[in-house]
Amino acid sequence: MSDKVQVSIRNLYKIFGTNPEEALRYVLGGMSKADLLKQHGHVLGLKDINVDIKEGEITVIMGLSGSGKSTLIRHLNRLIEPTSGEVFVDGDNVLDYGEDKLRELRRQVMSMVFQKFALLPHRTVAENAGTTLGVRGVAKTDYLKEADKWLDRVGLRGFGNHYPHQLSGGMQQRVGIARALTSNSPIMLMDEAFSALDPLIRTDMQDLLLELQKELHKTIVFITHDLDEALKLADHLVILKDGFVVQQGEPQHILLHPNDPYIEDFVSDINRARVLRVRSIMAPLTKGLVPTDTHGEINIDDTLESMIAKSGGDTSYTYLVTRDGNPVGTLDMSSLVLALVPRVASEEGARQY
Amino acid sequence: MATYDPLFNILGLRNWCDSGSAGSAPASMADLLVSTGVDKETSILDLPFPSLDALNEACGAFWQSRDVTTGVEGGFLAMKDALRVVLDPLTQPLSWILDGALYLFQSTPWFIMVPFLAVVVYFASKSVKLVGFVVVCLISLAFVDLYDHAMQTLAIIFVCAFLCVLFGVPIGIAMSRSNRLQRIIIPILDMLQTLPPFVYLIPLIFLFSVTEPKLYGIAIILYAIVPVIRLTDLGIRLVDKDVIEAADSFGMTDQQKLFGVQIPLALPNIMAGVNQTIMMSLAMVVIASLVSAPGLGVLVLRGIRNLELGVGLVSGLAIVLLAIILDRVTKAALARVNAAQKQ
């Protein structure tokens, strides 16, 4: 994992309507989304989006329906043209691309996974998985070989000759993921990829994605409306509301320090013990001294849930936190319990703002 | 005095009217009655619609209705020669193809033709039962000596339906890609579909010689091409937007998208259009026997003309059998396409 920014979105605006340029002037002049719709009949889709997507990370864009997240992801490969702004991929502004260069980008650099799978019903699973290579002109025997490899990898060994309608929803989405992986592109765009699946299969697919990511280190942009999913997958979390970014950053940080009542609302409903990890709430070692009176050693990436189980619920315990075997801090079980309480409950009236 | 006389008087057009041809000699009974001085009770209930003829009575400068029909006729006849110079060579291949197909279907002996058709049916439907049904139908047609006529009808349908698909599918594809083209073509299709089939024949008789096969070929194609165009357009427009978006996101070119995604996914609809086109060709080929199209229609026509009840009914039933065969075979092919791409 490097710190290199692979995709960078700068000052992106998208306005839907008959005359977006004119409407953009009103928006830049400070008109709100509701006023724009009421007075000029234009819909403000995205407003001043700035996001850096780092290479090899999973960037999750989260928001409720209508928040513009699906619109945003379609700007990355220009399935939707912005009203104004810039999208840089590896330093190049995608919006300057002509038709041919754009096609090359879609073929070689970005692949996409869709909420409704969007498989071709008249082609077999293997042919579907190989579509991304097929469009580049790779011979069928070659792309079927590559497709079979990735179908194995997503757990669909032996299904290559089936047709999509013979598979369940979860399996169809595995084909969708295999199709994106077969293209061997560095960036994967996943548009609510797991939202159409039932909860158990969704968890399976999330695990599959994390497992693949451990090996492949792709740059993944993942869209979801489910905060649990977002927190599970995200290295970097972007929260959208009504077309603008409310907060973005490390997911644990957002969870512990929501900067907006909207996000507090969101995070108050989730199982914090499962999401939060020791590293987010531990106390660093004072002056490098390793305390001797701890009740055991724990890993920095353990979840709080596993800590509660380990301590047997006793809040008087203190643990030594280690990273790769070296002590880095201490964890007081009582601070752990406090961290489980959402801030919105302790700060009454936060919603007034 | 005609009903609308005052109207022209008020408008001050009397002089203009009288400069026309009418007015010098009484033309109608009403004029005669007026000129002989017989007064007639008129009531508001007798007010005629101000049609061309009624206005002409009052004002001779107006046209009569029959001038409209003679005008259309004159216009068409004036265009005819120019149209012929363009259309005759363009449509000549149709005559050759029809002649060729008729010769091929009639000169092939029955013991080759029937197995050949059975094989075609098998490959279209992959159903042995249907093949058996088709063979039984053909044999029973041959048994009552309608084989030759049935083959003529089939030959014409094959040629015309094939040409309909050949031209109709590209037109449908073009329509699906341009809303403007769709707006232009849809009224034409509506007209072709609602114009009574007999009316097609009238201008064609003037344009082409009745002895030429292309006369009925064109009539059949014009009548039968509509459904395949409509359903191709519809089928491509109905292709799932998500799949099209996916195709775009993988960087497919327009051509890859058309042949790899849109046409295959529209195929069930296109096939339904082909089925309709074949059935409409069959309907038209019977009517086209009025303009010398050979086949079962000729026998039906003989039944009507000579009041040969038996000939008419038997050949009518033979047409029904042919229709059932064509319908079942194309539907079976359609069902196979559908089964292959269930969502």
Model confidence pLDDT, tens digit, residues B30-62: 556 555 655 556 677 777 888 888 888 777 777
Q: What is the ipTM of this complex?
A: 0.81
State whether residue B255 sits within 8 Å of chain A by CB: no
Map tokens 């024949």 to a residue.
B201
Mutate to test the interface with B, among A101, A104, A115, A131 (most CBs of B within 10 A): A131
User: β-strands A236-241, A219-224: how paired?
Assistant: unpaired
A223–chain B nearest CA distance, Å: 16
The sign of the CA dihedral A44, A50, A55, A56 is negative
Given a cut of 50, whether residue A103 has pLDDT beyond it is yes
DSSP annotation of B48:
P
Q: CA dihedral defined by B322, B327, B332, B336, rounded to 10 degrees? A: 140
Q: Name the residue in chain B with its Cα closest to that of A73.
A: B249
Q: Which residues of B touch A116 (CB under 8 A)?
A: 242
Q: Taking the mean position of all CA atoms in its chain, how far away is CA B240?
A: 32
Which of A 109-168 lie inside 8 A of B, CB atoms? 110-112, 114, 116, 118-122, 131-132, 134-136, 163, 165
**Dist CA A122 CA A164 (whole Å):** 8
Mutate to test the interface with A, among B243, B248, B250 (most CBs of A within 10 A): B250
Q: Do B340 and A106 touch (CB under 8 A)?
A: no
Q: Do B342 and A121 touch (CB under 8 A)?
A: yes
Q: What's residue A265's pLDDT? A: 81
pLDDT confidence of B179, banded at 50, 70, 90? Answer: very high
Q: Which of A106, A120, A165 sits opposite B249 (nearest CB)?
A: A106
- C-alpha separations of B90 from B84, B85, B96, B97, B224 in Å: 10, 9, 12, 13, 19
pLDDT confidence of A352, banded at 50, 70, 90? Answer: very low
User: β-strands A187-191, A5-16: how paired?
Assistant: unpaired
In the predicted model, what is the mean pLDDT of residues A187-196? 91
Tokens (6 digits) for B269: 């609809």
Q: Do A79 and B265 touch (CB under 8 A)?
A: no
Given a cut of 50, whether residue B23 has pLDDT beyond it is no
Q: Which residues of A touch B340 (CB under 8 A)?
A: 122, 163
A112–chain B nearest CA distance, Å: 7
**Dist CA B292 CA B102 (whole Å):** 13
In the predicted model, what is the mean pLDDT of residues B57-76? 84
**Dist CA A99 CA A110 (whole Å):** 15
Given a cut of 90, whether residue A187 has pLDDT beyond it is yes
What DSSP assignment string belongs to B10-43?
HHT-HHHHHTSSTTSS--SHHHHHHHTT------
Give the global pTM: 0.80
Q: Do A121 and B242 touch (CB under 8 A)?
A: no
Residue type at B251?
G
In the predicted model, what is the mean pLDDT of residues B335-340? 79
In the predicted model, what is the mean pLDDT of residues B188-212? 86
Q: Do A106 and B251 touch (CB under 8 A)?
A: yes
State whether residue A75 sits within 8 Å of chain B by CB: no
Q: Name the residue in chain B with its Cα closest to that of A189.
A: B249
Given a cut of 60, whether residue B334 has pLDDT beyond it is yes
Q: CA dihedral defined by A216, A217, A219, A225, rounded to 10 degrees? A: 90
Q: What's residue B32's pLDDT? A: 60
Pick the closest to residue A84 from A153, A2, A157, A15 (CA basis).
Answer: A15
**Dist CA A135 CA A107 (whole Å):** 8
Q: What angle in degrees, to the nearest 10, is found between the helix axes of B309-340 and B296-305?
A: 150
The contacts of residue A222 (CB under 8 Å, 6+ apart) are: A58, A59, A60, A61, A190, A193, A230, A233, A234
**Dist CA A188 CA B243 (whole Å):** 18
- The chain-wide mean pLDDT, for chain B, equals 87
Tokens (6 digits) for B100: 């060729």
